[in-house]
Structure 1
Amino acid sequence: MNKVMSNKWIIALYVLPALLLVGVMIFIPLVLTGYYGLMDWDGIGTMEFIGLENYIRGIQDGLFWNSAFHSFLLALFSTLSLILYLSVSLILASKIKGADLLRKLYLIPMLLSSVAIAQLWIKIYNPSNGMLNHVLRSIGFDNPPAWLADSSLVLYAIFIPILWQYAGFYILIYYAALKNIPESIVEAAKIDGATPVQIAYKIKLPLIMGVVKVTIVLAVVGSLKYFDLIYVMTGGGPNGASEVMASYMYKLAFANRDFGYGSAIGFLLLVITLIVTIIIRKATATKEEIQY
């Protein structure tokens, strides 16, 4: 077996299917997206090469940068929410009563599709008979807002179901990391007189910091390319108040049939995401971890 696995041709043969899959599903579409961004094309008819006009137009497009601001705001909220998810995971990992049931409850949103979650929260936010406004009226608010129709509130109203949707995912990651910490370390800290809070934030947290850094990258990158729930709930409205980069790209390419410009926006989204990922990677990694 060792003789076979030392053969470079055998290794290449094993790796080839995965490389082909990655190439067909990821790299070729990326190259084609960048190429289409150089064209004036409606997605069906003849393509006309126009060079970098679409990319220059995107850089100068105020609506694009407005949607980018909304995406970065979502990324900020998603990153801050990790503090809450980590705190919940620390509590669940401390062997409290009912922890198993709570873990299962937190995973429920992960089992639902984004469309189902969007429809659920549309009903909750309904201005006339939604549960949220019903509660507000019952405690004395005579004119509760129309959450998804108010330009100043819609973005934050949408953030809540998005953060709820992924709560179980991050809690599960943190919980698994915390359970991998040797119990002997925790017991030694208890013998030395450490309080539960000190054990959580001075012993457990540093030991899972590598996992925390990974979740920060996942939260930011996922937020920058987020699309489905926002599109179902508001379609980017009202008047672009909840538009994000991915929904703006979709509207340009498929609703407005400006496929060339939409492809350019999609490629700019890719570039922005890569830059942000590299910045986060360098900002959170130690000197020994950075290897480029």
Structure 2
Amino acid sequence: MNKVMSNKFIIGLYVIPALLLIMILIYIPIVLTGYYGLMKWDGIGQMTFIGLDNYTKLLSDQQFWKSTLHSFLLALFSALSLVGYLAVSLVLAAKIKGANLLRKIYLIPMLLSSVAIAQLWLKIYHPSNGLLNSFLISIGIDNPPAWLAEPHLVLGAIFVPIIWQYAGFYILIYYAALKNIPDSVIEAAKIDGASPWQIAYKIKLPLIAGVIKVTIVLAIVGSLKYFDLIYVMTGGGPNGASEVIASYMYKQAFASYNFGYGSAIGFALLLFCLLVTLLIRKLTATDEEIQY
């Protein structure tokens, strides 16, 4: 076996299929997206080369920058929600009664499709007979708001089901990381007189710092690319108040048949994700990783 694995030709045979798959699924589509962004094209007919016109158009497109702001607000909201997920995971990992049941309950939203979740929350937000407004009326609020129809409320209303949808995913990641910490480390801290708060803040969190960094990247980059639930619930409305980069890209490419401009938006989204990832890695970089 060692003789086979030391043969560079054999190693190349093992690596080439994976490289081809990565090229076909990732790198070639990225290059084509950037290329189509240089064209004026309706997605079907003849392409016309227009250079950087689509990209320069982005700089003066107010709706694009409005959508970008909404995407970054969602990313910020998602990153802040990780604090709550981590707190829940710390409680569950502390071997409280009913932790197994609660863990299964938190995972339920992950089993539902985004379309099903969107339909569920559309019923909750229904202005006349929705669950939320029915509750508000029952406590004496006569004219509850139309959550998905008012521009100043719709963005926050959309964020809630998105955060709810992915709660179980991040709680499960944190829970698994916390349970992987050796019991001997925690017991030693207790013998030294550390309080539960000190154990959580000074021992558990540093030991899972690498996992926390990964979840920050996943939450922020995933939020920047988010599309499906927003599109089903509001379609980016009213009047673009809940539009995000991905939904605006979809409308330009497939609703307005401006495929070249939609590709330019998609390529800009890719650059945003890369820049944010590099920035997060720079801000969270440490000289050494804690090993246990």
Structure 1 segments of 4+ aligned residues over 2 angstroms from their partners: none
Matches within 5 A, 1:89-238: 89-238=89-238
**Greater Cα offset, 280-289 or 241-250:** 280-289
Tell me, yes or no, if structure 1 residue 84 matches structure 2 residue 78: no
**CA offsets per residue over residues 175-198 of structure 1, 9 Å max, x none?**
000001010111111111211111
Q: In angstroms, what is the RMSD of aligned CA positions?
A: 0.8
Superposed, 1:14-53 pairs within 5 Å as: 14-53=14-53
Deviation at 1:287, TM superposition (A): 3.9
Which has the larger displacement, 98-107 or 196-205?
Answer: 196-205
Distance 2:25 2:38 in 1: 21
2:151 aligned counterpart, secondary structure: coil
SS at match of 1:152: helix
The aligned counterpart of 1:257 is: 257
With over 3 angstroms needed to count, the CA separation of the structure-2 counterparts of 1:15 and 1:269, relative to structure 1, is same
User: How far has the Cα of 1:24 moved from its partner?
Assistant: 0.6
Distance 1:288 1:258 in 2: 48
CA distance in 2, matches of 1:12, 1:246: 38
Write the deviation string for residues 145-179 of structure 1: whole angstroms up to 9, x where unpaired: 00000100000000000000000000000000000
Amino acid at match of 2:162: I
Structure 1 residue 15, shift from structure 2 partner: 1.1
* TM-score normalised by length of structure 1: 0.98
Query: Residues 80, 257 of structure 1: CA spacing in aligned structure 2 closer, same or farther, 3 A cutoff?
Result: same
The one-letter amino acid paired with 2:278 is I
> Is the aligned partner of 1:267 residue 2:262?
no
Report which stretch shifted further, 240-249 or 19-28.
19-28
Structure 1, gaps ≥5 residues long: none
> What secondary structure, in the 3-state scheme, does the structure 1 residue paired with 2:159 have?
helix
Task: Report how many aligned residue pairs link the two structures.
Answer: 289
Distance across 2 between alignment mates of 1:274 and 1:282? 12
What is the identity, as a one-letter code, of the residue corresponding to 1:83?
V
1:153 counterpart SS class = helix
Question: What whole-Å deviation, never above 9, does each CA across 1:176-225 have from its counterpart, x for those lacking one?
Answer: 00001010111111111211111111111111111101100100000000
* 1:72-130 CA-partner distances (Å, limit 9, x unpaired): 00000000000000000000000000000000000000000000000000000000000
Give the match for residue 75 of structure 1. 75
- Please give the alpha-carbon distance, in whole angstroms, between the structure 2 residues aligned to 1:285 and 1:224: 22
**Closer, same or farther in 2 for the Cα pair 1:288/1:188, shift >3 Å?**
closer
% identity of equivalent residues: 77
Residue 288 of structure 1: how far off its partner (Å): 5.1
Q: Distance in 2 between matches of 1:198 and 1:145?
A: 44
Deviation string 1:231-262 (CA, Å, 9 cap, x unpaired) is 00000000000000000000000000000000
Q: CA deviation at 1:53?
A: 0.3
| SS of alignment partner, residue 152 of structure 2 | coil
- Normalised by the length of structure 2, the TM-score is 0.98
